[in-house]
A and B are shown apart, each in its own frame.
Chain A
Amino acid sequence: MTKRVGIEVSLAVAEAAKLANVDVVAAYPITPQTHIVEHLAELVADGELDAQYIPVESEHSAMSACLGASAAGARTFTATAGQGLELMHEVLYVASSMRLPVVMVVANRALSAPLSVWGDHSDVMAVRDTGWIQLFVENGQEVVDNMLCAFRIGEDPRVLLPVMIHLDGFYLSHMIEPVVFPAQSQVDKFIPPYQHPMPLHPDRPVTMGAFAPPIIYSETKKAQEVNLEAAKEVILQCWAEFGKTFHRYYYPVERYRSEDAKVLLLTMGSFSETAMTAVDKMKEEGRAVGLIRLRLWRPFPFEEIRQAVRSAEVLIVVDRALSFGGPGGPVCSEVRSALYGQDRKPKVIGFVGGLGGRDITPAGFEEIVNRGIEISQKGSDKEFEIYGVRE
């Protein structure tokens, strides 16, 4: 039933949405996400996907329409990137706070100004605290697999939270990759139908989105935090179940040749595959270098990170976003904070690179490792360094 095909990753996203049998798609074009909503429109136009396709007039309305559709009980999907994600910003908080399990793919893109349609993680980091489950994927297969998992996780009655899947704009969205699509029957078995416990319906009137005076607001936020933390268990179960069914396994933190490595690189997103090539080369040269890939960004996998890096001496974190006037890359900052209270921990060295579509080659990762080791030995008066920038 299943076959391996070569397909552009954006198109594969749309095909996965079709396999998940989404009910409502609210879509607005923005580079580099456009091919996703174009292909979804084709699938609907050809009758291959029985869904309502709402061609909204902005991303703000895209996410708002998703709220409405999800609250009515429909399985809801959208995709965006960069500025579009920023325009949705306030709506994202509402989706998570009102427990509406919208699934969204973000083709990560830099933020203006200057305008850049190319990839980095500035858009992701700006929506870090919106209360969504957020995960990163590295290739076409991971996108398809995690699309299916996203609906199952988000719509689980124990979770009921929106899920964001991050894939690097162009680097991944526009690549043609080999992908195995599971059979429809397998998918139908894997994702149960969406059943919101209290949808908007005249048979059982509910009030959704009442305002909270100070006497109750803190409690609602605590409940939300507990809920998002508890979602991790369901995410792990889902990935385990997925592995059993489809024989591809996913974890919050994934290691690559990290055993006995004294120096570890830590990356997130499609960069990781380039970093792997660099690690392979360095390993061949007999260097004790390994790689840690962060897949689950929210809820943040504190314990898994601690376990993964505990025997290393140097941990080099490469961010694709810059926190201006702050500690450097947001990922590095969080990893540092996760390790701070540990007795045994590596020195954490932060790099920011690959902004606005700038490439980091395998040789580049090697340079970063060398410089990181140098900083760990000699120290530095900077909180972080930007890799490959002309000064």
Chain B
Amino acid sequence: MEKYAVFVPRLVTKRENFAPGHRACIGCGEALAVRLACKALGQNVIIANATGCMEIVSSPLPYTSWRVPWIHTLFENTAAVASGIEAGLKILMKKGRIAQQEIKVVAMAGDGGTSDIGLQALSGALERGHNFLYICFDNEAYMNTGIQRSSATPYGASTTTTPAGKVSIGQVTWKKNMPAIVAAHDIPYVATACPSYPFDLMAKVGKGAATPGPAYVHILSPCPTGWRYAPDLTIRLGRLAVETGIFPLYEVDNGTYRLNFDFPKLRPVTDYMKLQGRFRHLSEGVIGEIQQRVNKEYAKLKEKAA
């Protein structure tokens, strides 16, 4: 441990651009992901944040957790706001009204703000080729408003708008494949990440920020409140999501797929699901269905990365 304490600070900045003291739940995977992302981004950034958990926990007027320039306006328009900032900086630098320097514009939003209500604005901004990084912090439901389903909620999960009941298994649709949708825009860099793999996460955010043109990082952010698990299991659940193949960590670098963590044998999905209240009601049959789907999707991804 002592050796580790000497070693780690050389790899990661001690500076916290996302300051402690915010109001996230205990064990929040998203707050951890934001903190790590901010370490990777450094100070020459401007962040545009969508409405959602991170906006609410970090900015109750007159307090703020943001030590970098940060703007929140609305829910569905973050990518468009980022477009405007990027265009503004570009022309102001060209006209010499502000000094020439690298300032990365970063849009941050949750899964609802990305794959549902903000999808159009995101698609537009990607297609127009703005030089910005978009980070989706995916906790697989509208957690800020109280665990309502989104298109990123996994099959079989019980949420407040897809409750498991006598005649329902909960969510009956499969999780929308947001990274694939983004990759279909042929942007230079797409990646998935998880705060349980902090160095991988920071490397990907750093790479996304250094990419000229649009880049996208999709971060699975375990949520003890919404997934109904004990707060000390956040890191373990992130790892299990990856080790079961439910949330593989990969990159699409100028069209080339690379699987960052491959496993000779995936763990069964039950290892991941049994720890979470949202899946507790599922029958073996449904879990079997999910296992089959994960196997199929993972195989497809491996083929792309081959």
Contacts and interface: CB of A to CB of B under 8 A. Distances in A.
Interface of A: 23-24, 26, 50-52, 54-58, 60-62, 64-74, 76, 90-91, 94, 98, 193, 200-202, 204-213, 216, 220
B73 A207 contact: no
Nearest to B70: A207
25 contacts: A51-B91, A52-B90, A54-B83, A55-B128, A60-B77, A60-B80, A61-B79, A64-B121, A65-B80, A67-B84, A68-B48, A68-B82, A71-B88, A72-B85, A73-B92, A74-B87, A91-B74, A94-B73, A201-B103, A202-B46, A205-B67, A205-B69, A209-B72, A210-B60, A213-B61
B60 A68 contact: no
B43 A202 contact: yes
Nearest to A217: B61
Given A52-B87, A68-B48, A202-B103, A74 B92 contact: yes
B98 to A, nearest CB: 7
Given A67-B71, A202-B103, 9 more contacts: A50-B94, A52-B88, A57-B120, A61-B121, A64-B74, A64-B77, A68-B48, A200-B71, A207-B59
Contact of A211 (B61, B69, B85, B91): B61
Contacts of A90: 74
Interface residues of B, number: 50
Nearest to B75: A90
A72 B84 contact: yes
A244 B71 CA distance: 40
A57 B124 contact: yes
B70 A208 contact: yes
B251 interface: no
Nearest to B84: A68
A72 B73 contact: no
B64 interface: yes
B124 A208 contact: no
Given A24-B91, A201-B98, A68 B69 contact: no
Interface in B60-118: 60-64, 66-74, 76-77, 79-92, 94-95, 97-98, 103
Contacts of B260: none
Nearest to A212: B61
B100 to A, nearest CB: 13
A215 B165 CA distance: 40
B211 interface: no
Given A208-B72, A209-B73, A212-B61, A69 B67 contact: no
Contacts of B161: none
B290 interface: no
Contacts of B69: 200-202, 204-208
Contacts of B80: 56, 60-62, 64-65, 68
Contacts of A91: 73-74, 77
B123 interface: yes
Given A61-B124, A211-B55, A66 B84 contact: yes
Contacts of B71: 67-68, 71, 200, 207-209
Contacts of A23: 88, 91-92, 95
Contacts of A70: 84, 88
Given A61-B124, A68-B48, A202-B46, A74 B68 contact: no
A72 B92 contact: yes
Contacts of B81: 64-65, 67-68, 71
B287 interface: no
B56 interface: yes
A24 B64 CA distance: 29
B98 A73 contact: yes
